[in-house]
Homo-oligomer: A and B are copies of this chain.
Amino acid sequence: MVIELISVGTEILLGNITNTNARYLAEECAVLGLSDYYQVTVGDNEKRLSATIKTALKRADIILLTGGLGPTEDDLTRETVAKVLGREMKESPEIHQQIQDYFERMGARGTPDNNWKQAMVIEGAKIVENHNGTAPGMIVEVDETKRIILMPGPPEELKQMFEESIAPYLASLNNQVIVSKTVKICGMGESRVAEAIADLIQAQTNPTIGTYAKGGEVHLRITASGEDSKAARKSIKPVVKEIKSRFGDKIYTTRESESLEQHVIGLLKRKSMTVTTAESCTGGLVAGELINVAGASEVFREGYITYSNEAKHRILGVKNKTLKTEGAVSAKCAEEMAKGAAKAANARAAISVTGIAGPDGGTPEKPVGLVYIGCYIDGKVWVESYHMNGNRQKVRELTVKKALDMLRRCISDSDRS
């Protein structure tokens, strides 16, 4: 089956945003065995959108439309698809209610008039729920072989809807079942990961291995198709086993839905180990990641942001001598921060971060991107130093990832000793 991707949005034509949806959908569809020959972007313009849909109907089996489902007047994807197919638009009472509920939950005084438009659906379309916004998706079966699928433009809405509803629908059209397994690796760059499995990738047919770099992590996705999920799972198994043996403890999880911070909080919970944070250049982001995990309160009670030297000394007990002789960005300071934080919070574990995020403040000996991370567990302290590349934002993001990964490794280390 051939698909065609149509992205609707004047903001893409103006170059205000990058069309990341097209890549996402192309990649996900490739996994499902669906190829696209054309990707078209068109503005919120009825005449041109209509022409684009008609052309796509001639050359593709499934048209994936994204965008133009918003509440404003220039959003006209729904209406245009209906006109092209000669179908009516009808109000869906369920969606009407959902929109009302959404704005009530938001505490808004009533629903903006515009939003009622989002309750209008194309006659005969299957409605697809949107758990991240007010615009529902739609699956329109044009005839025996042709389908038009409408999805919202905001990437987080699109992705959740595609995963939950559209991908299973597309797989069912193909009589194939797709099963995939994700292996998540921290502490290695994408090219090195790819090198380590170059032979497996070269030899692959079914299953296939995809590598995805995601903010300081590399995820390997092993995907197999089969007549049923049992057959697909069976062909995935030996590949996952081989990958595990190659990457060892660089792998932190093989659970699709488990993030690094969830994994770390899980580890801490299983050990009933409380943790605290003492952050300088990351300014609360390490704590922010940990607390992002639901139920983190069981193991995280408090954390400190000590940006000034005075705060490092007063709150965490970092010695003035250390600050004077070694400086705030030093292994010794990271060590004392971690120890002091654990003591102040009466926690069994602590993670500390001190570094130079830039753009200013670097010197030849201590360049921008130099970061020390300290980890304290039950009386023992580890310190690691890193040279991060990139701008301030990037340095901070990578540092948060390294800090969480270090905590994970130190917990395992302290188990062994």
Among A45, A288, A310: residue with most chain B CB under 10 A: A288
Inter-chain contacts of A201 with B (CB < 8 A): 73
Number of copies: 2
Q: Are A292 and B40 in contact (CB under 8 A)?
A: no
Choose among B17, B29, B277 the residue that contacts A305 (Cβ–Cβ < 8 A).
Answer: B277
Inter-chain contacts of A142 with B (CB < 8 A): none
Among A41, A198, A290: residue with most chain B CB under 10 A: A41
Q: Are A24 and B29 in contact (CB under 8 A)?
A: no
Shortest beta-carbon distance from A71 to chain B in Å: 5
| A311 interfacial by beta-carbon distance below 8 Å | yes
- A285-B288, A308-B301 known; A19 and B22 CB under 8 Å? yes
Inter-chain contacts of A287 with B (CB < 8 A): 283-284, 305
Flag A184-219 by CB within 8 Å of B: 1 or 0 each. 000001111011001001000000001110000000
Q: Are A39 and B41 in contact (CB under 8 A)?
A: yes
Bound CA span A161–B11, Å: 24
Q: Are A13 and B27 in contact (CB under 8 A)?
A: no
Q: Are A35 and B13 in contact (CB under 8 A)?
A: yes
| A10 interfacial by beta-carbon distance below 8 Å | yes
Bound CA span A238–B367, Å: 46
Q: Are B15 and A30 in contact (CB under 8 A)?
A: yes
Closest partner residue, chain B, to A74 (CB atom): B201
Q: How many interface residues does chain A have, given as a range?
A: 35 or more
| A282 interfacial by beta-carbon distance below 8 Å | yes
Closest partner residue, chain B, to A112 (CB atom): B191
| A18 interfacial by beta-carbon distance below 8 Å | yes
Shortest beta-carbon distance from A291 to chain B in Å: 3
Bound CA span A415–B290, Å: 37
Q: Are A221 and B306 in contact (CB under 8 A)?
A: no
Q: Are B105 and A369 in contact (CB under 8 A)?
A: yes
Shortest beta-carbon distance from A311 to chain B in Å: 4
Choose among B43, B114, B294, B357 the residue that contacts A358 (Cβ–Cβ < 8 A).
Answer: B294
Closest partner residue, chain B, to A391 (CB atom): B132
Please name 7 further chain A to chain B contacts, defined as beta carbons within 8 Å, in addition to the given A114-B194, A132-B394, A283-B292, sorted by A numbering: A18-B23, A40-B40, A72-B190, A112-B192, A114-B195, A277-B284, A294-B359
Chain A contact residues, CB within 8 Å of chain B: 10-20, 22-30, 35-43, 45, 48, 52, 70-73, 102, 105-108, 112-115, 132, 189-192, 194-195, 198, 201, 210-212, 221, 277, 279, 281-288, 290-292, 294-297, 300-308, 310-311, 315, 345, 357-360, 367, 369, 386-394, 396
| Sample (15) of A-B pairs whose CB atoms are under 8 Å apart | A15-B23, A16-B210, A17-B212, A18-B19, A18-B23, A40-B41, A72-B191, A73-B201, A105-B367, A108-B189, A282-B288, A283-B303, A284-B285, A285-B288, A287-B305
